[in-house]
Amino acid sequence: MAHISAPALVFCLILSVCLFSQQASALACCRKYSRGELPIGLIRGYSIQTLRKICNIDAIIFHTPGGKNVCADPAKPWVMDRIRILRERAQALRNKKNRAQ
């Protein structure tokens, strides 16, 4: 059985974490916008992507069932309409919860 020194093990662990985090951030990065409008019924939530070194565009990332992400242009009226609807739904849930308490 091979013995690995503690510093070598720590180095490998740190390297693995760094590689994984860079790969994960690259996968979650929109580099271009999807075409077409996404129906509200297919949207489960959204994230906001701001311009970064790796991600070269501002985008709204809509999350759909099955874990699919759809990149949308925040300057498009339909995108902001979907966000408004999602926020209204969230507010309605909060109001319902507060009334139940």
- Integer angstrom CA distances of residue 49 from 1, 8, 28, 95: 47, 36, 9, 28
Domain that holds residue 95: 30-100
Answer yes or no: is 50 within a domain: yes
In this predicted model, what pLDDT tens digit does every residue of 75-89 receive, in sequence order?
999 999 999 999 999
Amino acid at 39: P
Q: What is the CATH number of the domain that holds 79?
A: 2.40.50.40
Number of domains in the chain: 1
For residue 98, what pLDDT is reported?
Answer: 87
Q: What is the pTM of this model?
A: 0.67
CA distance linking residue 29 with residue 21, whole number of Å: 12
- The answer to whether residues 82 and 70 touch, using CB atoms and an 8 Å cutoff, is no
For residue 61, what pLDDT is reported?
Answer: 97
In this predicted model, what pLDDT tens digit does every residue of 2-61 receive, in sequence order?
566 655 544 444 544 443 433 344 456 899 999 999 999 999 999 999 988 789 999 999
The pLDDT confidence band at residue 99, using thresholds 50, 70 and 90, is confident
Answer yes or no: is 9 within a domain: no
